[in-house]
Amino acid sequence: MLKKAMEKILTPRESDELISAFDQIGDIIIVRIPDFLLPKKKLIGETLLQEVKKAKSVFYQASAVEGDFRTRNLEILAGEDRTETEYKEFGCKFTVDVENAFFSPRLSTERERIANLVKDGETIVNMFAGVGMFSIMAAKKKKCKVYSIDINPVASKLCEKNISSNKLLGNVITINGDASNIIKKQLENKSDRTLMLLPERSDEFLQSAINATKSGGIIHYYSHIHADKKSESGKLSEEHYLQVTPVKSEIVGSKIVRPIGPRFYQTVVDVKITK
């Protein structure tokens, strides 16, 4: 139905590009529009609002996610001008602010994978937790303790709200502040499993992740990797990690999390460290 509706205003090729570049998060749609289609952005927004069930707002992503707070600029195209919505994933309910706190629906498979790896009794440090989705999904399944850190006060406030909205087996502790400083002050050698989901700055924070993690603990190291062949990206990310780590590390596994551009991938390497 959406493709058919788009045929009224776009060529088939333009329609294909546009549909692959929008996310539906609760009742909000966010669309990335190529420059050559920007003159039609209002019409695109109105069409999406009319054709996509449950959608109440359509936004154009006017900037990339950027800055320490990981926010982006959104421009309302159609519907209600609000950026907060409710989102459900794998039995959990979350309030997210799609403009003012980091959130990506395209990480759902990775969130489920991590939650399934967590064991009862683990202590986890989630260094860049956003609104707490990884943290809460882990604590929903297992009797673990998760320190859920984010420097963005909006994200931390939403994390607190999301903890209250879900029945958890484990315990999630929200901490607002810089992950490196918090680890140095109170979380050194506390973590059995450390998540560092800030792939564009992973090398900068690797030492802090190591400081947080017990000897024999696991670090989930995310990075952005250029690879001419998709099949090589996991191996390249392993090689990069081994080049930059200052501690003995056993590679447990690696994988592509998602493509982020032509021959460019977000990857994760799972490593067991020895200090």
User: Which tokens in the block code for residue 161?
Assistant: 């709200």
Beta strands in the chain (DSSP E): 22-25, 28-31, 57-61, 74-79, 84-89, 92-97, 123-126, 145-150, 171-176, 191-196, 213-226, 248-261, 264-274
Query: What DSSP letter does each residue of 127-157 carry, written as one string?
Result: TT-TTTHHHHHHHHHSS-EEEEEES-HHHHH
- CA gap 142, 76 in Å, rounded: 39
**pLDDT greater than 80 at residue 234:** yes
Summarised one tens digit per residue, pLDDT across range 45-89 is 999 999 998 999 999 999 999 999 999 999 999 999 999 999 999
Please give the DSSP secondary-structure letter assigned to residue 201: G
Please give the pLDDT value at position 135.
98
Mean pLDDT of 200-219: 98
Q: Which amino acid is at 201?
A: R
Residue 3's pLDDT band, with cuts at 50, 70 and 90, is: confident
Summarised one tens digit per residue, pLDDT across range 167-192 is 999 999 999 999 999 999 999 999 99
User: Which tokens in the block code for residue 126?
Assistant: 């989630």
SS3 state of residue 124: strand
SS3 state of residue 1: coil
Furthest C-alpha separation in the chain: 62
Please give the DSSP secondary-structure letter assigned to residue 113: H
Given the DSSP bridges, would you call strands 92-97 and 57-61 parallel, antiparallel or unpaired? Answer: unpaired
Q: Quick check: 48 and 31 in contact, CB under 8 A?
A: yes
Mean pLDDT across the chain: 95
- CA gap 217, 213 in Å, rounded: 6
Full-model pTM: 0.93
- Domains along the sequence of the chain with CATH: 2-82 (3.30.300.110), 101-274 (3.40.50.150)
Could you tell me which of 213, 216, 218 has the C-alpha nearest to residue 114? 218
